[in-house]
């Protein structure tokens, strides 16, 4: 489950609003962790200004740039690994995530399995 949004909205929250949103997120984890549906607690990412992007240069050598290469309104802000029977179940669980400032969309995608 990839959590997308405009991370600048998150930094504009008042301390009280941020605390309220974090309590909603902790509540989401408290709901789903006992069910075994969260494979990994996930990771919150630092703002886009902390990012580095690595791409192949014209000569095929890596070129590293500061921040996201493209001007995007929404960036990935966090990742949560779910353990579900199928993508439909994962989407139903993701639909219960508390979307708010800085979190405008979720993408649910199965992990690639190469057997």
- All structural domains of the chain, each given as residue ranges with its CATH number in brackets, are 2-107 (3.30.70.1060)
- pLDDT at residue 16 tops 90: yes
Between CA 10 and CA 6, with CA 28 as vertex, the angle to 5 degrees is 20
User: What percent of the chain is modeled with pLDDT above 70?
Assistant: 96
Tell me the C-alpha distance between 74 and 76, whole Å. 7
Query: Global pTM?
Result: 0.77
Distance between alpha carbon 86 and the CA centroid of its chain, in Å?
20
Determine the pLDDT at residue 66.
Answer: 79
The pLDDT tens digits of the residues spanning 39-78 come to 877 888 877 777 788 888 899 899 888 776 566 677 788 8
Tell me the C-alpha distance between 94 and 91, whole Å. 5
């Amino acid at each position: 489950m990839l959590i997308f949004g405009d991370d600048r909205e998150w930094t504009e929250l008042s301390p009280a609003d941020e605390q309220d949103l974090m309590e909603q997120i902790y509540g989401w984890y408290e709901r789903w962790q006992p069910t075994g549906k969260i494979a990994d607690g996930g990771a919150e990412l630092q703002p886009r200004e902390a990012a580095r992007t690595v791409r192949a240069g014209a000569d095929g050598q890596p070129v590293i740039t500061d921040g996201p290469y493209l001007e995007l309104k929404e960036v990935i802000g966090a990742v949560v690994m779910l353990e579900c029977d199928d993508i439909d179940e994962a989407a139903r669980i993701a639909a219960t995530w508390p979307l708010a400032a800085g979190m405008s969309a979720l993408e649910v995608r199965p992990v690639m399995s190469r057997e």
